[in-house]
């Protein structure tokens, strides 16, 4: 239920009193009250929100369902009708000045803003979809940072492996030099010995050199294989992470598009509903003889850029031809944007540099 403020109108005071009776009855919901009274929820909502003077049958059935005195409320309804007519006449007499017209338009503008806030469930769903898309984008950003960190780690390990390769070469060179020195020492010691000892020394030196070369070659080969394997695994992991990020981006864009579509649909429905309510208000004003106020509502529709912006309503609420008149000055104020449309970021997907062989 909307909050009712006492604006001096007899119908508003009557609806506030009726809300008090509803609270005394345990404040039943409109669904429960509709089952007891036999009337639809929209008619009950009009009754409790001071939309129009209620019919006597509707009032008596609702008061009876709430446990009140139907005869007493019928008498109050008859007084309300006379007081409401006097209030409408006084308002019509006082409403000839431009200031009064602007004041009434501001009140009507406030009421129309409240009407746009009625479909709260749809707006809440659109906001929830936007929040979900925002969370997914944040998750994609976190995955992107994680992938960047993994790539930096892989590059660092690859650099360390390349730095260790010269160290292995140095160790192999040291082994070779040690073997050569040992062979030289053996040769010096065996100059005075038999030729067989010299030959044996050369054989041992050759074996040491061959073993050192094989060891150095194996170490270099293993280091290169490990570096290639680790680099391949790292690139595969990074590519998979980037694909997951692309998927999350696509899902996030789809969610944002769905949210934008829902917001656009909601804006159209809100405009249709506002125009329908304004047409009903114009009919009631014309019935009451307030034609000037009815034409002022056409200016309100022009200020809101509603007339002509969507398909015409049908039936007794069909759009009427709006006379060509200048709208009231807006004093530099921006036009009301019922639902702002957020920009959609473009995304072309991730690319990864060519892996070096």
Neighbours of 56 (CB within 10 A): 14
Separation CA 303–CA 326 (nearest Å): 10
Q: What is the pLDDT of residues 160-189, one digit of tens each?
A: 888 887 887 888 788 888 888 887 887 787
3-state secondary structure of 2: coil
Q: What is the pLDDT of residue 159?
A: 83
Name the band, by pLDDT with cuts 50, 70 and 90, for residue 59. Answer: very high
pLDDT band at 6 (very low <50, low <70, confident <90, very high): confident
Q: What is the pLDDT of residue 65?
A: 92
Dihedral sign from CA coordinates of 280, 282, 283, 284: positive
- What is the DSSP secondary structure assignment for residue 3, as one 8-state letter? P
For 15-25, what is the mean pLDDT? Answer: 92
- Whether the pLDDT of residue 357 is over 70: the answer is no
DSSP class per residue in 156-224: HHHHHHHHHHHHHHHHHHHHHHHHHHHHHHHHHHTTTS-HHHHHHHHHHHHHHHHHHHHHHHHHHHHHH
Average pLDDT, the chain: 77
Q: What is the pLDDT of residues 227-238, one digit of tens each?
A: 888 888 888 888
Compute the average pLDDT of residues 303-309: 65
Residue 15 has what pLDDT?
A: 92
pLDDT of residue 16: 92
56 pLDDT band, cuts 50/70/90, is: very high
Confidence (pLDDT) at 270: 83
Question: What DSSP character marks residue 117?
Answer: T
Q: What is the pLDDT of residue 156?
A: 85
- Residue 125 has a pLDDT of 43
pLDDT digits (tens, 9 = 90+) for 64-107: 999 999 999 999 999 999 988 888 877 766 555 566 566 556 65
pLDDT in tens, 236-293: 888 888 888 888 889 988 988 988 888 888 888 888 888 888 888 889 888 988 888 8
pLDDT more than 90, % of the chain:
17
Of residues 351 and 92, the one with the higher pLDDT is: 92
How far, rounded to the nearest angstrom, does the alpha carbon of residue 207 sit from its chain's CA centroid? 75
Q: What is the pLDDT of residues 25-43, one digit of tens each?
A: 999 999 999 998 889 999 9
CB 256 within 8 A of CB 130: yes
pTM, 2 dp: 0.30
What mean pLDDT do residues 121-131 have?
Answer: 51
Cα of 332 vs its chain's centroid, Å:
31
Rg (CA), the chain: 43
| Distance (Å, whole) CA 230 – CA 222 | 12
In which element (H, E) is residue 40 found? none
* DSSP codes of every residue in 305-344: T-TTSSPPP-GGGPPPPPP--PPPP-TTPPPP-SS--PPP
Give the list of residues 6+ apart from residue 36 with CB closer than 8 angstroms, or none.
Answer: 28, 65
Which pLDDT does position 140 carry in this prediction?
65
Choice among 18-22, 151-155, 217-221, 302-306 with the minimum mean pLDDT: 302-306
Higher pLDDT, 225 or 142: 225
Q: Report the 10 Å Cβ neighbour count for 58.
A: 17
Alpha carbon distance 226, 233 (integer Å): 10
Both tokens of residue 36? 């007891």
Q: How far apart are CA 14 and CA 35, in angstroms?
A: 23
Q: Which two tokens stand for residue 29?
A: 């919901």
Per-residue pLDDT, averaged over 219-231, amounts to: 87
Rounded Cα distance between 84 and 9, Å, is: 7
């Amino acid at each position: 239920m909307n909050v009712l403020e006492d604006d001096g109108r007899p119908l508003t005071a009557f609806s506030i009193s009726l809300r008090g009776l509803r609270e005394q009855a345990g404040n039943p919901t409109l669904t429960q009250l509709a089952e007891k009274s036999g009337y639809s929820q929209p008619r009950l909502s009009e009754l409790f929100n001071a939309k129009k003077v209620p019919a006597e049958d509707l009032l008596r059935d609702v008061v009876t369902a709430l446990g009140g005195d139907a005869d007493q409320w019928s008498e109050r309804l008859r007084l309300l009708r006379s007081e409401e007519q006097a209030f409408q006449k006084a308002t019509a007499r006082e409403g000839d000045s431009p200031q009064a017209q602007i004041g009434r338009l501001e009140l009507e503008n406030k009421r129309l803003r409240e009407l746009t806030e009625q479909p709260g469930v749809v707006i809440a769903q659109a906001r929830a979809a936007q929040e979900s898309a925002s969370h997914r984008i944040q998750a994609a950003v976190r995955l992107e940072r994680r992938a960047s960190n993994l790539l930096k780690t892989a590059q660092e390990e690859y650099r360390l492996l390349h730095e260790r390769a010269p160290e292995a070469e140095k160790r192999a060179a040291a082994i070779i030099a040690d073997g050569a020195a040992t062979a030289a020492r053996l040769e010096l010691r065996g100059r005075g010995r038999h030729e067989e000892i010299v030959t044996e020394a050369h054989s041992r030196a050759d074996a040491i050199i061959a073993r050192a070369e094989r060891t150095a070659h194996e170490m270099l080969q293993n280091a290169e294989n490990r570096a290639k394997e680790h680099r391949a695994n790292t690139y595969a992991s990074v590519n998979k992470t980037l694909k997951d990020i692309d998927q999350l981006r696509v899902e996030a864009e789809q969610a944002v598009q769905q949210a934008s579509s829902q917001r656009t649909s909601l804006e159209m429905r809100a405009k249709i509903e506002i125009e329908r309510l304004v047409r009903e208000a114009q009919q009631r004003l014309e019935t009451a003889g307030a034609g000037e106020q009815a034409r002022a509502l056409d200016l309100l529709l022009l200020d809101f850029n509603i007339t002509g912006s969507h398909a015409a309503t049908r039936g007794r609420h069909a759009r009427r031809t709006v006379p060509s008149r200048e709208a009231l000055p807006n004093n530099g104020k921006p036009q009301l944007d019922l639902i702002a449309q957020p920009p959609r970021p473009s995304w072309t997907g991730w690319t990864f540099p060519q892996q070096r062989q």
